[in-house]
C-alpha cells in the first residue's frame, strides 16, 4: 500500500501524530467542561446517536440541547452513547481557540508549503463506546485529543474509497458527510491510536472513521482551508451543478490549477444565484440528553426542527 493516502495533492501525505499543549492547560478537566456546557449557545450543539448493523451501515438520530445543567449534561455524555459537537469554538471558547491556534501554527510549520487561510473548530465530547461512521471532511483537519483514548481508521482517498460524485453531493450540502462503506475497506485502513496530548493530521479528504476505546473522550477538531483546498471545493460544487443539469464533469484531480480556480469562481456565482439549495439546512431532533436512561437519550415531548 502506498504511503500517500489520497489522489489530491497537498502537504499532508499520510496520517501523522504531533504533540500539543492543551491538556496541560486544563481545558479537558470536568469543571472547565461543565462551565462551557452551561454557557454554550444551544444552536451550536450537534448531539448525535449512531447505530450500526452487522455490515457496518449506519443510521443517525439527532438530539436537542435540553435543559440539563452543564454538570448534568457532562454526566449524561459519560454514561451514555452520545457524540456531542460544540461548533464555533473560535467564538464559543476563545481561550481554548487561542491556545489551539498556537499549537496549530507549530504543526503547520512541519509541513512545507502549508498555509491555512481559514480555520474553524468544534469541541467533541463523546461517550465511552461512541463511534463515528465512515466519512470525509471537505477541509484539512488537525484533531487535538485531550482526554480518553480514540482509535482512528484512515483510508485511501482514491475513487474506490471516495467517489467524487459523493464528494460533490457533500460539498454542495445535498447530503451529510457520511460515505458509502463496505467492510472490505478495513483491509486498506491505516489505524492510529490517540492519547491525550497528541494531535493527528491526515491527507486532505482522506475518508476516516473513529472509535472511542471505552473511555469518555474530549477532542478539538480544527478544520483549515488553504487556497488549493478552496479551489478544489469550488470545483466540486460547480461539478455538482453541472451534473444536476445533465452534464458529465471531469474529475478534479485531472484539472489544472487554472481550471480549478475557474471552477471555484463559477461556484461563487452559482451560490449567489442559489443554484444548489442545501438539503441539510434543517433536520429533526428527536431526543435530548437525560441522566439514567438508555444511551443517555430521553424522548422529546415533540419533534424539534433546528438549523444545522
Average pLDDT score over residue span 199-219: 95
119, 152 Cβ separation under 8 angstroms: no
DSSP code at position 66 = -
pLDDT tens string 79-130: 989 999 999 999 999 999 999 999 999 999 999 999 999 999 999 999 998 9
pLDDT tens string 147-181: 999 999 999 999 999 999 999 999 999 988 889 99
Average pLDDT score over residue span 252-281: 93
Cα–Cα distance between 130 and 85 in angstroms, integer? 13
Cα–Cα distance between 299 and 285 in angstroms, integer? 10
Cα–Cα distance between 37 and 35 in angstroms, integer? 5
205, 136 Cβ separation under 8 angstroms: yes
Amino acid 58: pLDDT: 87
Average pLDDT score over residue span 23-33: 97
**pLDDT band, very low/low/confident/very high, at 2 (cuts 50, 70, 90):** very low
CA 196 to chain centre: 19
Query: If you search the block for the grid coordinates 501524530, which residue do you land on?
Result: 17
Average pLDDT score over residue span 190-214: 95
How many alpha carbons fall within 13 Å on the CB side of residue 110?
13
As beta bridge partners, residue 190 has 154
pLDDT of 299 strictly over 90: no
pLDDT of 262 strictly over 70: yes
Average pLDDT score over residue span 11-26: 95
Cα dihedral across residues 46, 49, 53, 54: positive or negative: positive
CA-based nearest residue to 152, from 166, 168, 136: 136
Cα–Cα distance between 151 and 291 in angstroms, integer? 26
Cα–Cα distance between 161 and 198 in angstroms, integer? 27
Average pLDDT score over residue span 218-242: 97
Average pLDDT score over residue span 280-302: 81
SS (H, E, C) 235-266: HHHHHHHHHHCCCCCCCHHHCCHHHHHHHHHH
Query: If you search the block for the grid coordinates 487535538, which residue do you land on?
Result: 144
pLDDT of 284 strictly over 80: no
Tell me whether residue 203 is exposed, middle or buried, using C-beta atoms within 10 angstroms of its C-beta: 0 to 12, 13 to 18, 19 or more. Answer: buried
Q: Phi first, then psi: give them for residue 39, nearest 5 degrees.
A: -105, -10
Cα–Cα distance between 121 and 89 in angstroms, integer? 5
Amino acid at each position: 500500500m502506498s504511503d500517500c493516502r489520497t489522489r489530491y495533492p497537498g502537504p499532508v501525505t499520510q496520517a501523522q501524530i504531533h504533540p500539543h499543549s492543551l491538556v496541560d492547560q486544563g481545558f479537558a478537566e470536568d469543571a472547565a467542561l461543565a462551565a462551557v456546557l452551561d454557557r454554550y449557545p444551544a444552536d451550536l450543539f450537534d448531539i448525535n446517536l449512531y447505530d450500526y448493523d452487522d455490515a457496518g451501515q449506519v443510521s443517525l438520530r439527532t438530539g436537542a440541547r435540553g435543559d440539563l445543567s452543564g454538570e448534568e449534561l457532562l454526566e449524561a455524555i459519560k454514561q451514555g452513547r452520545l457524540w456531542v459537537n460544540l461548533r464555533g469554538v473560535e467564538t464559543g471558547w476563545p481561550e481554548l481557540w487561542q491556545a489551539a491556534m498556537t499549537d496549530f501554527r507549530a504543526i503547520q510549520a512541519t509541513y512545507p508549503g502549508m498555509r491555512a487561510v481559514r480555520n474553524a473548530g468544534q469541541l467533541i465530547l463523546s461517550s465511552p463506546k461512541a463511534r463515528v461512521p465512515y466519512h470525509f471532511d471537505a477541509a484539512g483537519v488537525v484533531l487535538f485529543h485531550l482526554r480518553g483514548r480514540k482509535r482512528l481508521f484512515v483510508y485511501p482517498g482514491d475513487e474506490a474509497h471516495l467517489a467524487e460524485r459523493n464528494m460533490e453531493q457533500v460539498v454542495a450540502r445535498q447530503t451529510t458527510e457520511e460515505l458509502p462503506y463496505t467492510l472490505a475497506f478495513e483491509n486498506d485502513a491505516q489505524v492510529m491510536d490517540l492519547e491525550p496530548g497528541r494531535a493527528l493530521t491526515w491527507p486532505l479528504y482522506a475518508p476516516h472513521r473513529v472509535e472511542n476505546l471505552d473511555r469518555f473522550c474530549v477532542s478539538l477538531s480544527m478544520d483549515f482551508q488553504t487556497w488549493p483546498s478552496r479551489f478544489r471545493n469550488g470545483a466540486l460544487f460547480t461539478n455538482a451543478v453541472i451534473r444536476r443539469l445533465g452534464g458529465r464533469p471531469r474529475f478534479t484531480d485531472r484539472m489544472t490549477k487554472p481550471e480549478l480556480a475557474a471552477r471555484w469562481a463559477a461556484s461563487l456565482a452559482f451560490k449567489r444565484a442559489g443554484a444548489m439549495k442545501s438539503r441539510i439546512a434543517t433536520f429533526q431532533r428527536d431526543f435530548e440528553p437525560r441522566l439514567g436512561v438508555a444511551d443517555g437519550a430521553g424522548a422529546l415531548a415533540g419533534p424539534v426542527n433546528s438549523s444545522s
